[in-house]
Structure 1
Amino acid sequence: MRWLHHFAIGVLCLTLAACSSSPTGRQRLTFFPDEQLDQMGAQAFEQYQKELPTVNGAPLRYVECVAEALIEELPPEERAQPWQVRVFKDDAANAFALPGGYIGVNTGLLKIATDQDQLAAVIGHEIGHVLAQHANERASTQSATQLGLSVVQSAAGLEGPQGEQLMGLLGAGAQYGVLLPFSRRHESEADTIGLRLMANAGFDPRASIDLWQNMSQAGNGQPPVWMSTHPSHGQRIGGLQAGMNEALASYNQAQDRGKRPNCRQP
């Protein structure tokens, strides 16, 4: 199925001229203008603040300290955005970053990410999604997949119950063969970007492995990898270990340049 995904994206790139390269050099399909994604990010961030209480004081200062050190390492255009950081009172060990410059961290994550370096691994990963325009790519790929299925249905003249059943199977094939593996690729790419980002900011990249070991111990089971939008913890740790030598070299260079974050835990 992976060859089919690459072929389909390649054809769309040639016909629609809607492709660009991610920070890791991977070809990606992006239909939507940045302004539209930024607006969607702002709306989502506003909605999140309506649904969950925010936490100020020491927890917010701590998260802001880590986030600001990472933001300083972003490319000029992204660094210049007026980033907003919030801490949400929620036991789920989760965090997010949104197009437009929005970062949210749940209080539950602060119990799993036990120091500033582990927290930097999470926030760096989430910022990695934004830098790689994964929201745009995911929406574009889904739109292209749905468009492709509509074309198939029209060309084949599939009507009535049999046609609907076949299209349901084609939809499932598209989901498990293209969209979900693609999402796992997003997660792995965000890990790579986040590892580089935290190392360049002076956070110890080895903490990223400690973080996912903590996540694994705290987890209550995971779905099979082939039906999950996230790599298994073992796969994720393996990917991080593969890039660790390069990250450690960047970390040591950052330390030599005086980049030594000192964010106090609440």
Structure 2
Amino acid sequence: MFAEEQNPTTAVAGRRLSDQQAVAQFRQVVSRVEPVAERFCKQETADRENFDCDIQIVVDTSMEGRNAYQTYNDAGKPVVGFTIPMIADARNPDELAFVLGHEMGHHIGQHSHKQQQQAVAGALILGALTAYGQASATAANPYRYTGNDQRDMQNSIELGAGVGQMAYSQTYELESDVIGTAITKAAGYDPVKGARFFARPEGKRTANGRLSFWGTHPPDEKRLATVLATIEGIEVSGGISRR
């Protein structure tokens, strides 16, 4: 299935809609997926006090590229945004439903908060190691040149934050795929058909050099395998496993 999407001759074809038609289709998908996702969120987070399952879904008209994302507004409320090019590029409602469920999964899994914690931990660890190394070097040679120590320390902290943030990025992506599969299926859409969106052979960067949607959501066989395994688990046991 992954190989089929990577091959232009066997990839799923879809009719390109006008922006107006695409947004209308998206709103129809949202009307079915949103209440299902909210119920799923409440079930999954029943042990978390005051967890906010009221996820605001917006059409982001400020961005020109194809993108879908999960974030938080100034009041701390969860938001899932889709750009119009992203909505228009979906080949069917199943793809919209799956991407929507996937992005909601990032909030349910608290992935952005976990990544922030990992970034801080990575920065502290690498910063501490650098400080220890500099102190040891100074103890061994009190006359060594220390003019670059502050810059080296800053570089180490930034590197540690980056490494910490990326440490479990694939784990979070696959966990969101599991959640997205459950939500998509419960809403009456086909998660296998929807997940093909992630398998498309798209560039990792946009024309201006920024990471594209496929750069932050890398296509690989694990994603579709995760979807298939999740569906099997739902059909056998009626539930999902994120472990």
TM-score bracket relative to the smaller structure: 0.5 to 0.7
Aligned counterpart, 1:121: 98
2:222 counterpart (238, 252, 261): 238
Give ranges in structure 1 of 5+ residues lacking alignment.
Answer: 1-56, 255-266
Q: How far apart in 1 are the matches of 2:109 and 2:33?
A: 18
- TM-score relative to the length of structure 2: 0.61
Tell whether 2:85 aligns with 1:108: yes
Q: How does 1:254-265 map to 2 (within 5 A)?
A: none
> In the alignment, is the contact (CA less than 8 A) between 1:67 and 1:120 conserved in 2?
yes
Tell whether 2:203 aligns with 1:220: yes
Name the SS for the 2:196 alignment partner.
helix
What is the letter of the counterpart of residue 70 of structure 2? A
Tell whether 2:189 aligns with 1:199: no
> In the alignment, is the contact (CA less than 8 A) between 2:52 and 2:78 conserved in 1?
no
Q: How does 1:144-155 map to 2 (within 5 A)?
A: 144-155=121-132
Q: How far apart in 2 are the matches of 1:152 and 1:124?
A: 40
CA deviation profile, 1:97-123 (whole Å, cap 9, x unmatched): 335332221111112222221111111
**What is the deviation of 1:251?**
6.8
Q: How far apart in 2 are the matches of 1:70 and 1:168?
A: 42
What is the letter of the counterpart of residue 173 of structure 2? E
Change (3 A) 1:149 1:80: closer
> In the alignment, is the contact (CA less than 8 A) between 2:26 and 2:96 conserved in 1?
no
2:59 counterpart (66, 81, 87): 87
Q: How far apart in 2 are the matches of 1:96 and 1:187?
A: 12
Change (3 A) 1:246 1:126: closer
Q: How far apart in 2 are the matches of 1:175 and 1:229?
A: 19
Q: How far apart in 2 are the matches of 1:205 and 1:230?
A: 20
Change (3 A) 1:166 1:101: closer
Name the SS for the 1:72 alignment partner.
helix
**What is the deviation of 1:229?**
6.9
2:31 counterpart (61, 65, 75): 65
Tell whether 2:108 aligns with 1:131: yes
CA deviation profile, 1:174-216 (whole Å, cap 9, x unmatched): 3565432422332222222222322233321112332123x42
> In the alignment, is the contact (CA less than 8 A) between 2:30 and 2:97 conserved in 1?
no
Q: How far apart in 1 are the matches of 2:94 and 2:204?
A: 25
- TM-score relative to the length of structure 1: 0.57
Change (3 A) 1:187 1:131: same
> In the alignment, is the contact (CA less than 8 A) between 1:86 and 1:104 conserved in 2?
yes
> In the alignment, is the contact (CA less than 8 A) between 2:98 and 2:191 conserved in 1?
yes
Q: How far apart in 2 are the matches of 1:252 and 1:155?
A: 53
> In the alignment, is the contact (CA less than 8 A) between 2:102 and 2:180 conserved in 1?
yes
- What percent of counterpart residues are identical? 19
Change (3 A) 1:150 1:168: closer
Change (3 A) 1:58 1:169: closer
Q: Which moved more, 1:106-115 or 1:155-164?
A: 155-164
Q: How far apart in 1 are the matches of 2:125 and 2:65?
A: 37
What is the letter of the counterpart of residue 116 of structure 1? P
> In the alignment, is the contact (CA less than 8 A) between 2:103 and 2:176 conserved in 1?
yes
> In the alignment, is the contact (CA less than 8 A) between 2:97 and 2:189 conserved in 1?
yes
**What is the deviation of 1:253?**
9.7
Q: Which has the larger radius of gyration?
A: 2
